[in-house]
């Protein structure tokens, strides 16, 4: 079973990268913090890591905190990260379990402003 592509994935720079992260559910401040992690890595790596964590059912804040505590996840090859996330899903870690830990599962996300913030 394949993992669906997350919205906002794709090569972006600067403002576009922040907009992609906001489209994934990160606030402007969270996007700014995420962009500051491993600045030498390309945007695809940050977005792919964040997307896999969100697909596991973590909230944007929980995903960001995990990436801040474990920046090695950002350096992990995207395919390997996807495989590990799939293994966690097979073991039962999904949105249902993460929802009990504060994920925003089931709650509508606030509308995002189309403007581009200064990051």
Q: How far apart are CA 54 and CA 63, in angstroms?
A: 7
Would you say 100 and 106 are in contact if contact means Cβ atoms under 8 Å apart?
no
pTM score, two decimals? 0.64
Among 7-11, 57-61, 85-89, which range has the highest average pLDDT? 57-61
The 10s digit of each residue's pLDDT in 12-54 is 445 788 888 999 999 999 999 999 998 888 878 888 899 999 9
Q: Kindly give the residue spans of alpha helices, DSSP state H, lying in 70-114.
A: 72-75, 78-90, 95-99
Domain ranges of the chain: 18-91
Please say whether the beta carbons of 29 and 59 come within 8 A: no
Tokens found for residue 79: 């395919």
């Amino acid at each position: 079973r394949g993992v669906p592509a997350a919205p906002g994935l794709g090569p972006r720079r600067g403002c576009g990268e922040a907009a992609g992260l906001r489209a994934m559910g990160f606030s402007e401040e969270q996007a700014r913090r995420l962009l500051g992690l491993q600045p030498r890595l390309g945007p695809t790596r940050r977005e792919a890591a964040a997307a896999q964590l969100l697909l596991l059912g973590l909230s944007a804040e929980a995903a960001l905190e995990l990436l801040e505590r474990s920046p090695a996840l950002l350096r992990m090859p995207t395919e390997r990260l996807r495989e590990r996330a799939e293994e966690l899903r097979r073991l039962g870690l999904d949105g249902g379990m993460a929802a009990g830990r504060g994920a925003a599962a089931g709650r509508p996300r606030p509308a995002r402003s189309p403007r581009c913030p200064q990051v």
